[in-house]
Amino acid sequence: MNYERIYNEFIADRKAKEPSYLRGLRYASVRTKLRRMFGDKCGLETHHIVPVCEGGTDEPSNVVTLTVREHIFAHLLFAKANKGNAMAWASLWAAAGMARENRSAKTLLANKRAIATAREFMRSTCVGEKSKSANTTMYSWINYKTGEQFSGTRHDLVRKIGHNETAKWESGAYFFGRTLTTRSGWFETSRFSSVAALDAYKESIKDLAKAGTKAKNIGGMNHGARKVVCIDTGKVYDCQRDAANETGANPSKISECCTGSRNKAGGYRWAYADMKEAA
């Protein structure tokens, strides 16, 4: 059966029957107008005649308005006309199975055969190592916990971890840079050449964190610090600790003076600078 011919004839027929108020509009403009006219209860959807994955544009000549079932049928025809095209089947899966506000369970059940066909094809051609976009680069892997090493693709690593949903989640967190190693301890040598290199990096991170915390929380670097003024000398300090370092007073007692629960600290009277200015 010539599915390409049927698809072209079907699109030409629907393009000719398209409402006049939708003609000459780009893809986004059609969707906006339908939403304004019908709200969430609109039974029409916009369809790229030549899919975006095949170089299709949002120009009016490449856009047609279809009902939900016609939209699914159009994707089914296009997928069958391009049987070896994984993206065509992925588009059918999205069109037939995607949850949308104007799609009822009845509509999806009526198209369950199209959904099943698309899903089966995607499983066999579009998933994991079989995907055309799969990363086939060979990497060297080291296990931080055991020291074990092996060479393989990222899919080989997932298979070695367990090849289940937990393994995909664990490896995904590592691949996206959220963890230094996978939960089971695997890391790739282009990031760290050895276990010792990873240990050294961890230590440097700890030192930087300590230094950063110390610098941020001391003196004027502390964003929560309030300036204090020595009433007797008139000198303003960035924080209580700076005042204590210069005068020898206890910083907590300077705080008590500023809040009014104490008269003096280190032989001086103290107040918060902003409160003194307000007074």
Return the pLDDT at 160: 84
CA dist 52 and 62 (Å) reads 10
Return the pLDDT at 151: 92
Region label for 24, one of left (φ > 0), alpha (ψ between -120 and 50) or beta (otherwise): left
| pLDDT, tens digit (0-9, with 9 covering 90-100), for 122-151 | 655 555 555 655 667 889 999 998 999 999
| pLDDT, tens digit (0-9, with 9 covering 90-100), for 232-259 | 898 998 888 888 888 888 888 888 888 8
Return the pLDDT at 97: 62
Q: Which residues contact 244 (CB under 8 A, 6 or more apart)?
A: 250, 251, 254, 266
Give the residue extent of every domain in the chain. Answer: 3-130, 135-217, 224-278
* CATH classification code of 224-278: 1.10.10
Residue 220 above 60 pLDDT? no
CA angle 31, 115, 5 (to 5 degrees): 70
| pLDDT, tens digit (0-9, with 9 covering 90-100), for 255-268 | 888 888 888 998 89
Measure CA 111 to chain center. 31
| pLDDT, tens digit (0-9, with 9 covering 90-100), for 19-77 | 888 888 888 888 788 877 877 666 778 888 888 877 888 888 888 988 877 888 888 88
Q: Is the dihedral of CA 120, 124, 125, 127 positive or negative?
A: positive
Cβ-contact 223, 229 below 8 angstroms:
no
